[in-house]
């Protein structure tokens, strides 16, 4: 039987997210494998992988908040805004940055902030990815986007930093679409210096944390022992950001058949509601865009539902 569930993978440096999917397809002998948002090759960290029927919830995990630990280097900027790119600007002056000064800057960059995606990114402009323009030496106007930063915590304990090149570590909790590389550049700009992100690790993605994760080598060993189900989370785990409501008898026929129904009260404050049957997700409903007071199915998970892994 093909595996169904969500695999909390620890992506190691040097691999693309697609490399991980390719390897898992071979290890688990299944084609239904989907990742939940790319991590750059040099970045390590939490990468939930959806298998089988659980690929239906991959987009909702992708949309959930993330936590990163990053190292920022002040004193030079690069083409790619990280340590991989060629140096664009360098400031070799002796610098002194106080803890208070740095914490003020980090505070100013929390909440809703505007970012311009890096040229070396997968954001599409006029049907082409930005990195495709960049690799050909072409420039194009990039869209300004608003992202949400929940918090930025300074992880180092120094009272001040001195030197030509200054490094410090931060923990960022943020919403979908945030570029930590760009945030590093913005921190440098606020301090008055060129900057880039010199290292990055993703420690949390939605409900999935570092402590839950397994490496590809560990997955391979567990799969060879025929115990892959022991490390998979059920489909329901990927929907844990939304409220769950058990289907009442009067709603059973309508939800089973994916009908437009009277809006559930929880949708006045939440984007989705997960309807469960005997405790398992059966359907995901949202407010109807054209019919006030009504709700419609966003996704159906099969009936009777199953969380088999």
Catalytic residue among 40, 44, 82, 307: 40
Instruction: Assess whether pLDDT exceeds 50 at residue 75.
Output: yes
Residues recorded for the chain:
309
The model's pLDDT over 176-227, given as tens digits with 9 standing for 90+, comes to 889 999 999 999 999 999 999 999 999 999 999 999 999 999 999 999 998 9
Mean pLDDT of all residues in 154-183: 96
More confident residue, 86 or 262: 262
Instruction: Assess whether pLDDT exceeds 60 at residue 308.
Output: no
The model's pLDDT over 170-183, given as tens digits with 9 standing for 90+, comes to 999 999 889 999 99
pLDDT for res 107: 98
Mapped onto helix, strand or coil, the DSSP state of residue 5 is strand
Q: Is 290 a catalytic residue?
A: no
Instruction: Assess whether pLDDT exceeds 80 at residue 5.
Output: yes
Burial group, residue 116, by CB count within 10 angstroms (0-12, 13-18, 19+): middle
| Gap between the Cα atoms of 274 and 280, Å rounded | 9
| Gap between the Cα atoms of 188 and 196, Å rounded | 8
Lowest-confidence pick of 3-7, 37-41, 51-55, 170-174: 37-41
Taken in order of first residue, the domains within the chain and their CATH numbers are 5-64+206-238 (3.30.2350.10), 66-205 (3.30.2350.10), 242-300 (2.30.130.10)
Task: Give the DSSP H/E element, type plus range, for residue 256.
Answer: helix 249-256
Instruction: Assess whether pLDDT exceeds 60 at residue 309.
Output: no
Share of the chain above pLDDT 90, in %: 80
pTM score, whole prediction: 0.89
């Amino acid at each position: 039987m093909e595996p169904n569930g969500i695999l909390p993978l620890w992506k190691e440096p040097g691999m693309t997210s697609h490399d991980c999917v390719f390897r898992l397809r071979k290890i688990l002998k299944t084609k239904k494998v989907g990742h939940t948002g790319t991590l750059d090759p040099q970045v390590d960290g939490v990468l939930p992988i959806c298998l089988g029927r659980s690929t239906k919830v991959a987009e909702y995990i992708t949309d959930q908040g993330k936590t990163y630990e990053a190292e920022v280097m002040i004193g030079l900027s690069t083409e790619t805004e990280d340590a991989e790119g060629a140096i664009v600007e360098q400031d070799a002056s002796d610098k002194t940055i106080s803890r208070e000064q740095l914490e003020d800057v980090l505070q100013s960059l929390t909440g809703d902030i505007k970012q311009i995606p890096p040229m070396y990114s997968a954001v599409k402009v006029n049907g082409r990815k930005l990195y495709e323009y960049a690799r050909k030496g072409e420039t194009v106007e990039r869209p300004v986007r608003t992202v949400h930063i929940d918090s930025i915590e300074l992880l180092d304990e120094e009272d001040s930093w001195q030197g030509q090149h200054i490094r410090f570590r931060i923990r960022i909790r943020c919403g979908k679409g945030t570029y930590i590389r760009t945030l590093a550049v913005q921190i440098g700009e606020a301090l008055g210096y060129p900057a880039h992100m010199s290292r990055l690790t993703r420690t949390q993605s939605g409900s999935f944390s570092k402590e839950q994760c397994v490496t590809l080598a560990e997955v391979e060993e567990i799969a060879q022992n025929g115990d892959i189900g022991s490390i998979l989370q059920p489909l329901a785990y990927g929907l844990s950001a939304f409220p769950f409501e058990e289907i009442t008898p009067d709603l059973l026929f309508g939800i089973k058949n994916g009908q437009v129904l009277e809006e559930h009260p929880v949708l006045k404050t939440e984007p989705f509601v997960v309807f469960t049957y005997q405790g398992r997700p059966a359907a995901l409903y949202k407010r109807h865009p054209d019919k006030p007071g009504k709700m419609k199915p966003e996704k159906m998970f099969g009936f009777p539902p199953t969380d088999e892994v």
